Amino acid sequence: MNNKITKISISFTVSLILITPGFSVVTVGLLTLYSSVKLIKNGFNFNKYDIIPMITLSAYFLSNVPITVIDGGTLRYLDAGIRALLCIPIYLFIKNEIAKGTNLDSTLCTSTILASFGALAFAVYQFFILNMPRVDGFLFSINFGYLAAALAIISFGLSFTQTQLKHYLYLSAIAATVATTLTLTRGAILTLPLVFMLFFIVNVRKLKFKQTLFFTLVGILLLSASYQISPRIQERVDFTIFEISSIASNNVHAAASSGGRLQLWYAALEAFKRNQILGTTYSERESLNIELFKEGKVDEWTSTVPRGHAHSQYFEAIASNGSLGILAIFAMLILPFAVFLNDYRKTGCPISQTGFLFIFGFIIFCLTEAPLQANLIGTFYGFMVAIFYAYIAAKRAKD
C-alpha cells in the first residue's frame, strides 16, 4: 500500500506540475498528511543522516519566525518556508520506503517525461496558436520558465540512470528546454547552459567526446533555431543587449527590468544595514525605499514596489531576515548542493548527480528572482530535495 501511495504521489506531483492549476501542491499536501499519520503510527526512525535534510527543509521557515514576531501584523513571512517544512514527513516516509527496497527510478523518469512533454504542448499552444507574447500556463511566465527549466535539468540528470527510458529522457530535456525558451524568461534560459557547464566540469574525466559534442550541438541548435523562428525571441534578445549596454554606460534607469532589479538590490542592502541580525519588516522596507527615492538614490518605481520586494532570493533573505537569512540560504541551497555533489563524487550515483544539478539550477534562478516564495515552485523544490535526500539517506543506512 505504501509503495503504491509513494509512486502515485510522485507521478501526480511531477507529471502534473505545469499542466494543472496547482494540483501538484494538493498532492504534496495529501502525501504530507499520509506520511505524518504513518510515521506517528509506526514510530520515527531517526539517525544521524537525517539531521542535514531536516536542517535544509526547516531553515527557511525558522529564519522567518523572528521577523514575524517583530512585525506582529502578518504571517506572510512564514508562507514560503512552511512548504519545505511540510516536506520533512515526506522525506522520512520515502526514505523508509526506499530502504525497504522500493525502486522509484522508473516512476521519477516516467513522470518527468510526461511533465516535460506536457509543458511543451502547453507552451506551443499558447505561443504559436494563441499567439501569446510569453508562455505562462496557469502561472506567471517567469514561474513557468523556472519550472520548465527545472524539468529539463531533472530529465538530463535522470538520463544517466540505468533505465530503458534514456532516449526518451533526452527528448524530454529538449522538450522542457523549448518550453523554457518560449516563456522568454532570461533567468531560466541562461541557467541551462550553466548547468551543462557544471556537468561537464564535474564529469570531464568520464565523458566521451561524441557525447559531449552531441549535447553541445543540440544546445546550440535549439538556441539558434529559436532565435531564427520567432520575432518575439529576437526582440527579447535585442532588449537584453540594450539593457546590458545601458547598465555598462551607467544609464541604469534606461534598463527597465535589469536596472530596476539593481535598484531593488541596493535598497535591500540598505535594509540589511538597518538590522543585520534579524532583518527589517515589510512596512519598514517600504518606508526605507520611499526615503531612498526622496534622497535620489533610487527611482520612483522602486519606491512603489509592495513590501520592498527585492526580486532576488538572496537580497530578499538578507533584507527580511538579516544574518538569519544568510544562514537559511546556506542551508536551503549550498548545503544540499554540497551533499549531493560529494555523494556523486564518492558513489557515481545518477540520482545524486540529478540532485546537485537541480540545486545548482535553483542557485542561479535565485539570483534574479525569489522563486522559493512562489507557492508551486517552493513546494516542488522542497518535494524534490526531500526525494534526493531520501535516496542518499536510505543508501547510507544500508551501508
Nearest to 115 by CA among 72, 75, 74, 150: 150
pLDDT at site 330: 98
**201 and 68 in a common domain:** yes
Nearest to 349 by CA among 382, 380, 398, 388: 388
Q: Tell me if 275 is assigned to some domain.
A: yes
Give the lowest-confidence range in 119-128, 206-215, 286-295, 378-387. Answer: 206-215
Q: Grade residue 36 by pLDDT with cuts at 50, 70 and 90.
A: very high
Domain boundary among 282, 308, 334: 308
Q: Tell me if 217 is assigned to some domain.
A: no
Nearest to 112 by CA among 394, 375, 395, 384: 384
pLDDT at site 210: 72
pLDDT at 32 over 90: yes
Average pLDDT on 115-138 reads 94
**147 and 38 in a common domain:** yes
Domain boundary among 308, 331, 354: 308
Q: Tell me if 231 is assigned to some domain.
A: no
Locus of grid cell 500556463: 137
pLDDT at site 255: 62
**338 and 190 in a common domain:** yes
Cα(7)–Cα(4) distance, integer angstroms: 5
Average pLDDT on 191-196 reads 93
**323 and 280 in a common domain:** no
Cβ neighbours of 204 (radius 10 Å): 9
Q: Tell me if 294 is assigned to some domain.
A: yes
**203 and 326 in a common domain:** yes
End-to-end CA distance of the chain: 26
Cα(66)–Cα(320) distance, integer angstroms: 10
How many Cα atoms occupy the beta-carbon half-sphere of 88 within 13 Å? 19
pLDDT at 333 over 90: yes
Cα(225)–Cα(246) distance, integer angstroms: 27
Cα(138)–Cα(147) distance, integer angstroms: 12
Average pLDDT on 183-193 reads 92
Residue ranges making up the domain that contains 17: 2-207+313-398
pLDDT at 396 over 90: no
**192 and 174 in a common domain:** yes
Q: What is the percentage of the chain residues whose pLDDT exceeds 70?
A: 94
Q: What is the pLDDT of residues 240-283, one digit of tens each?
A: 777 677 666 676 666 667 888 999 999 999 999 999 999 999 99
Q: Tell me if 237 is assigned to some domain.
A: no
Domain boundary among 278, 308, 338: 308
Q: Tell me if 246 is assigned to some domain.
A: no
**289 and 145 in a common domain:** no
**290 and 154 in a common domain:** no
Q: Which three cell numbers stand for residue 123?
A: 507552451
Q: What is the pLDDT of residues 344-372, one digit of tens each?
A: 999 999 999 999 999 999 999 999 999 99
**123 and 87 in a common domain:** yes
DSSP state string for 12-67: HHHHTTTTSSSHHHHHHHHHHHHHHHHHHHH-----GGGHHHHHHHHHHHHHHHHH
SS3 203: coil
Average model confidence (pLDDT) across the chain? 91
**327 and 192 in a common domain:** yes
Domain count of the chain? 2
Q: Tell me if 213 is assigned to some domain.
A: no
Q: Tell me if 268 is assigned to some domain.
A: yes
Q: Grade residue 231 by pLDDT with cuts at 50, 70 and 90.
A: confident
- CA 172, 170, 193: angle at the middle one, nearest 5? 90
Q: Any residues with CB less than 8 A from the CB of 257 and at least 6 apart, and which?
A: 239, 243
Average pLDDT on 228-244 reads 72
Nearest to 336 by CA among 55, 33, 111, 104: 55
Q: What is the pLDDT of residues 209-219, one digit of tens each?
A: 776 777 778 77
**375 and 286 in a common domain:** no
pLDDT at site 248: 67
**Using alpha carbons only, how large is the chain's radius of gyration in Å?**
21
Type of residue numbered 296: G
pLDDT at site 70: 96
pLDDT at 191 over 70: yes
pLDDT at site 251: 66
**162 and 18 in a common domain:** yes
